Structure 1
Amino acid sequence: MEKLKVVSPFRLSSLLRLQKDPKLALQLFLNPNPDKPKPFRYSVLSYDLIISKLGRAKMFDEMEQIIERLKRETRFIPKEIIFCNIIMFYGRARLPDKALRIFAEIPCFRCQRTVKSLNTLLDALLNCREYDKMREFLVGIDKYVCPDVCTYNVLINAYCKSNDMGNALNVFDEMQKKGIKPNVVTFGTLINGLCVNSMLDEAFKLKEHMVKIYKVRPNAFFYVSLIKGLCRVNKVDFALKLKEEMLRYKVELDSAVYSTVISALLKVGRKGEVYGLLDEMRTNGCEPDKVTYNAMIYVFCYEKNFDSAFGVLNEMEEKGCKPDVISYNVIIHGLCRVGKLREANELFEDMPSRKCVPDVVTYRTLFDGLCDGAKFKEAAFILDEMVFKGYVPRAASINKFVSGLVQEGDIKLLWQVLDSLAKGNSIEVNTWMMVTSMVYKKDKLSNDSEFIDTLIMA
């Protein structure tokens, strides 16, 4: 019988790298040589690999067991990147307290904290929207490490995301006082935050300041932020001038720029300019994508111009840009909003033949529209299909539907609907109480034990 090869520390690292299943990788790590029970000399690379595999798989209990084992190692000092990865995994999983704890424990592993682990922690807290905890770090940030431009960029981003532009600008001033030169990310984050908060004058002043003083050229992200901000307040002509500036400075225009401007033009009734922009897009090697077309569909539906909306849908298919579920949901919502329920239902039924599967938003939109239009039989059919697919209507929609059935006195259909809702476990206590109260007030089913049994079973 062939003797099994002994797994060496080097070979273990190779095997861990090849093993795709994190559970099997963990078994291999914990017991690399089943026939040789003596202690195994793990390498720092083996720890790095197994921690990364467990972290990506969100097997945090198992990962923490390995971390505790690593803490007891005396043969080497773990690299800081291992702890950066752990903090990142916790941040992605929305576990800010665990991220904070591992950052605090880094010295326990005899590893020195640097700005890398600090920035990783701040980014994890930002991902978890723990803005207050980030502000706490800002107060005593120098006691950990010397912050760099990335540190301040993350802090500025946090203030921008919490719509606190005053403090975002304060951090910007502070970094300059400390001699840290802002970079393209700093300016891009600030300008985007100013635009989102409708502080367009300040955004353009900062853009000018950036170019003249820091010699930083705006990139596509800057322009998209400014163009979106201008279009949000219907300053379409200024947005078009910025688009021309992008062309002059040879900044690559993508579909996001064109989609924003096209949507704005349609909203202010300047439809005639849209087709020129579409031609320009193609000339510049930027084909309209789903975002561009969906923006057009949205505006046409908002204006109740459904012929044009369907025209865009057909053009998408002709151009090889397959409409997605958002394209159909926007039109169905628009049709329901103006009471064109038959057309909405026809488009819904046509979706599978167009190779687009309705999602929960599609069903809810159509169900709500049918309920609002008192088309209860059609709504009941959609509801039954929703429940079969595992979708749940909004509670307010169910209550409105049930109330409408009771008011109409269609108790047979009401019984069927409650039966469907019961199958989907979608009857809330409030609905149960409302139905019971309404039915008894109308004195329709006070003696109908079958109906009461249905409610109890629900």
Structure 2
Amino acid sequence: MKASKSISPFRLSSLLRSQNDPTLALQLFHNPNPDANPQKPFRHSLLSYDIIISKLGRAKMFDQMEQILHRMKQETRFAPTEIIFCNVMSYYGRARLPDRALHLFDEMPSFRCERTIKSFNSLLDALYKCGHFDKMKEVLERIEDYGTPDACTYNILIKAFCGSEDLENARKVLDEMRSKGVEPTDVTLGTLIYKLCSDHRVKQALELKEDWERVHGVLPSAFVYASLMKGLCGVGEMALAFGLKDEMVRKNIRLDAPVYSTLISALAKAGRRGEVPGLLEEMSKHGCKPNTVTYNAMIHGCCMEKDFEAAYGVLDEMVEKECRPDAVSYNVIIDALCKEGKWSEAHQFFQDLPRRGCHPDLLSYRMLFSGLCDCGQFQEAAFVLDEMIFKGYAPHYARTHKLVEGLCEEGNMELLATVLSSLQKANVLDDGTWRVVISTLRREMSSDVFELIDTLTMQ
């Protein structure tokens, strides 16, 4: 029998890149040539290490990833590049693992890799994503050991201060950035504009944007324009928001889906849904396709006007245009139906979600459960609660109280016992709920009540 052709290091890198399953990719990395002589270990390339580390990091398989890092440390044929460690610290940051990011940064010299401002920024960003602002200040004291702060460094600091509601210090960082001769970027502007608009300081945001263009020559990005438009719409300045859209056209800044989604959402909230088709036509003219957020804004507008048939029509259009609806698409409709007292239609729509290719999430269950309780449909609410808890979702305490109160008022002790048992198993049976039950038991000392007491005592 002819032996299979052995895989070369170059070929392994290609195979690893094309393998979507990180577990299978790891197996391939460990054993690329099963028939090879065990006395001649495979000589992995740096590219192979880079690819497998990236796959494991994105999959949050950190223990396996760290084993590969340890193996790479033993290599003597090459020194790892700094970008590998930057990526790993980024994975740690997204996974809220600041200690691992700090440890890796400290370990980089043992890999024969020099630490520069690039890896320092990666560490700083990981700490920012983990919300470790005090640790960021501590790390910053050593920045001169690794280089001079660049625009990325300052942008991370500005994001951190904006995220901690400290706009004053964010401005101070911007001033220092300018005094050190570091040119601000569109990320700098975008962060500050977004924060100002979130705080309803839209006038200051507009002034900052104008100053940026005039003094720094930084052309605002579509993200900046979208933030400004959202801020303007939030304070009722729709005309100014649409004026910014026209300005983007004049300055040849590509209008993207978030910009149009922001305006469509604003039109819906203002009761001007009739203007949406014209905006969609303009989107098409500019070669911009509606995305899920765009359609969700349209669905929200339909639901605000209680036009549920139109909302269903938007869902169908999404499918036709191959734009996959997400949980938000469905939850908006469920919530609106429940608020209108259409609990039966909401329940049917909820049960139809799997057929539509969407699995209900925590919000879906909470919305339906709350709607059923508000409509006094306690038996249906109890069934939804049972399924909700089975799937590991916790209901709001206020709504479980309403359900328990409703069952007590109806005198449905059998269903009440089932509900209390479910809440107890899920460890969400609080003192407030017990007080409601005990109060009822004291008023209604019937045979059903005694049976309920026996059931609860046995549990």
TM-score normalised according to structure 1 size: 0.83
Counterpart for residue 122 of structure 2: 120
Counterpart for residue 107 of structure 1: 109
Tell me the CA shift for residue 96 of structure 1: 0.7
Q: Is the 8 A contact 1:156 1:171 kept in 2?
A: yes
In structure 2, distance between residues paired with 1:118 and 1:313: 50
Q: Is the 8 A contact 2:117 2:147 kept in 1?
A: yes
Cα pair distance change 1:136/1:434, threshold 3 Å: same
Q: Secondary structure at the match of 1:306?
A: coil
Cα pair distance change 1:390/1:189, threshold 3 Å: closer
In structure 2, distance between residues paired with 1:18 and 1:346: 42
Amino acid at match of 1:133: K
In structure 1, distance between residues paired with 2:161 and 2:244: 27
In structure 1, distance between residues paired with 2:2 and 2:344: 74
Alignment of structure 1 residues 55-454 onto 2, 5 Å: 55-71=57-73, 76-302=78-304, 305-307=305-307, 309-318=308-317, 320-321=320-321, 324-348=326-350, 357-387=359-389, 391-418=393-420, 421=423, 425=426, 428=429, 430=431, 433-434=434-435, 437-444=438-445, 451-452=452-453, 454=455
For structure 2, the 5+ residue unaligned runs are: none
Q: Is the 8 A contact 1:418 1:454 kept in 2?
A: no
CA RMSD of aligned residues (A): 3.7
Tell me the CA shift for residue 72 of structure 1: 5.3
Cα pair distance change 1:408/1:176, threshold 3 Å: same
Q: Is the 8 A contact 1:419 1:454 kept in 2?
A: no
Tell me the CA shift for residue 393 of structure 1: 2.8
Tell me the CA shift for residue 445 of structure 1: 5.5
Q: Secondary structure at the match of 2:148?
A: coil
Cα pair distance change 1:317/1:51, threshold 3 Å: closer
Amino acid at match of 2:372: L
Cα pair distance change 1:297/1:55, threshold 3 Å: closer
Q: Is the 8 A contact 2:413 2:448 kept in 1?
A: no
Q: Which moved more, 1:344-353 or 1:251-260?
A: 344-353
In structure 2, distance between residues paired with 1:46 and 1:195: 45
Amino acid at match of 1:84: C
In structure 2, distance between residues paired with 1:18 and 1:255: 30
Cα pair distance change 1:147/1:365, threshold 3 Å: same
Q: Which moved more, 1:157-166 or 1:380-389?
A: 380-389
In structure 2, distance between residues paired with 1:342 and 1:44: 60
Q: Is the 8 A contact 1:71 1:109 kept in 2?
A: yes
In structure 2, distance between residues paired with 1:116 and 1:277: 42
Cα pair distance change 1:78/1:288, threshold 3 Å: closer
Aligned length: 453
Q: Percent identity?
A: 52
| 1:28 equivalent in alignment to 2:31 | yes
Amino acid at match of 2:237: K
In structure 1, distance between residues paired with 2:412 and 2:287: 59
In structure 2, distance between residues paired with 1:352 and 1:40: 47
Q: Is the 8 A contact 1:16 1:28 kept in 2?
A: no
Tell me the CA shift for residue 120 of structure 1: 1.5
Tell me the CA shift for residue 404 of structure 1: 1.9
String of CA shifts for 1:214-249, please: whole Å, max 9, x gaps. 322223112111111111111111101111111222
TM-score normalised according to structure 2 size: 0.83
In structure 2, distance between residues paired with 1:176 and 1:284: 37
Amino acid at match of 1:144: Y
Amino acid at match of 2:31: L
In structure 2, distance between residues paired with 1:87 and 1:253: 33
Q: Which moved more, 1:232-241 or 1:160-169?
A: 160-169
In structure 2, distance between residues paired with 1:32 and 1:86: 32
Q: Is the 8 A contact 2:9 2:43 kept in 1?
A: yes
String of CA shifts for 1:21-69, please: whole Å, max 9, x gaps. 255256439x996742x88876655654554454344333344344445
